[in-house]
Structure 1
């Protein structure tokens, strides 16, 4: 399940004009937050607010369209192979060691062909959360960036269903519920490309992970207090069995803390930071990293200087996304990570804002702008926002002691 957040959609549309319209023309579903996108908290539908768009599509569909737009650029030459290390010349990275085009790396550890070198003025590591950039830097005599991990032990299942579009009044729905022990369950569904096709996700933590059969998936939907998931279980026809995934931890590489770094090298996407996937930040974060890199390159930086300005720009994106996901993950009792200073206050404010978003449109709009990566997380800590949220919760007649 993947819904492209509005922050990411805007960035990709800026880089590739008409991209969102192309997705919709190909069958993806587009919904406005004021109409087809519904959020639920403990079964209660949040007040709708206008101003943001969500694109719902499967990841292979979205990525195939994006890849095709990239390959269509006149100055792009795709090369198929495997990257095995960096090439250093003095104080800069000057290329990548890789297998030849069309060749593959021997799983036993050897190379199936003589290694080639792709020379480069700038190497961009976009190899994901399993990136070996730290080891490659170490091999060249450079310090490794610190790798922070936050164990969350998330399990989630995704399933495809066939159902008529008119079976539900929503295009995208997300439901958040809290178990008696304080852990959360999250469910998401959305209409996607293909005739009458929907995709749904159910997620839980530690031993509350979903099962692997369609019957177990439907039961999880039936247990969700939000109506769209009951309806999916009743009128949806499963297309195959669910796919199960594990997300053991969130990760970020702190390049900004290094005192030495070679020129000619940057990292983007999950190679820079990998977040809890249930918050949908990954694709949008990667698009914003690309925008940060574009802004950096527009200054015509020296190829002989480390890309510190880029890493500073990208850090702001990572910090915001990390704060959003980490704050929620640290609330759960099974997450045995140290709580940062001020966590109790921030957690309390977060709870109040989330509850206020059910009935107060202004609070929900500000929360949605942060969720969609259109505004910094600090927006929600402004005194006016906090006071308004507290007043809205009081009006609900549910003030916590």
Structure 2
């Protein structure tokens, strides 16, 4: 795509995902990676990290016991885990913003999860350890489930409690 001089090309501010794990028929010796599998709202910066991890999955698949005469199911399953992690950060952030903007009633467990994440985010300004863990998740060096670790939540609560005294 070429843009006119002085005009920025427009990027899609949305997340899209295509599932390959459940396909019954798919050509042998063919895989999908990067934006062909999942593209993310660029505000979260997950696209390149996700694509890099797709390449790592492909390397593991190709150097393992790959079946080159069948559907690359093992590869798609590895890749699915990577996409799930990036999706939790990108699409989860979008969902919270869109729910609030559209007045969507959010189930209690989701509200609690979002409130806990809000406390972690607030604590990143006070506690360096919480900030490092949050950054590691943002940079896709750790899984998003790390942010729900009870020790991290306790540390974030303590940091915020110390600030309010």
Three-state SS of the structure 1 residue aligned to 2:12 is strand
Q: Choose between structure 1 and 2: higher strand proportion.
A: 1
Match of 1:315 among 74, 80, 90: 80
Three-state SS of the structure 1 residue aligned to 2:116 is helix
Matching residue of 1:364: 131
For structure 2, the residue ranges without an aligned partner over 5 or more in a row are: none
Three-state SS of the structure 1 residue aligned to 2:21 is helix
Three-state SS of the structure 2 residue aligned to 1:342 is helix
TM-score when normalising by structure 2: 0.85
Query: Residues 13 and 43 of structure 2 are in contact (CA less than 8 Å); yes or no, is this contact kept in structure 1?
Result: no
Matching residue of 2:33: 268
How far 1:241 moved relative to its partner? Answer: 5.8
1:393–1:335 Cα change, 3 Å = same
1:242–1:389 Cα change, 3 Å = farther
CA-to-aligned-CA distance 1:150-209 (integer Å, 9 cap, x gap): xxxxxxxxxxxxxxxxxxxxxxxxxxxxxxxxxxxxxxxxxxxxxxxxxxxxxxxxxxxx
1:251–1:341 Cα change, 3 Å = farther
1:286–1:341 Cα change, 3 Å = farther
Are residues 1:347 and 2:119 paired?
no
Are residues 1:283 and 2:48 paired?
yes
TM-score when normalising by structure 1: 0.37
In the alignment, the residues of structure 2 paired with residue 299 and residue 336 of structure 1 have an alpha-carbon distance, to the nearest angstrom, of 48
1:258–1:355 Cα change, 3 Å = same
Matching residue of 1:15: none
1:335–1:315 Cα change, 3 Å = farther
- Identify the range of structure 1 (316-325 vs 387-396) with the bigger mean alpha-carbon deviation: 387-396
Aligned residues: 159
1:266–1:364 Cα change, 3 Å = same
Within 5 Å, give how 1:68-217 maps onto structure 2: none
Three-state SS of the structure 1 residue aligned to 2:8 is strand
Match of 2:70 among 305, 308, 315: 305
Q: Which has the higher Rg, Structure 1 or Structure 2?
A: 1
Query: Residues 30 and 72 of structure 2 are in contact (CA less than 8 Å); yes or no, is this contact kept in structure 1?
Result: yes
Three-state SS of the structure 1 residue aligned to 2:111 is helix
CA-to-aligned-CA distance 1:328-383 (integer Å, 9 cap, x gap): 11221236889688321221111000000001011101101111111101111111
Q: Choose between structure 1 and 2: higher helix proportion.
A: 2
Over the aligned positions, Cα root-mean-square deviation in angstroms equals 2.4
Query: Residues 330 and 337 of structure 1 are in contact (CA less than 8 Å); yes or no, is this contact kept in structure 2?
Result: no
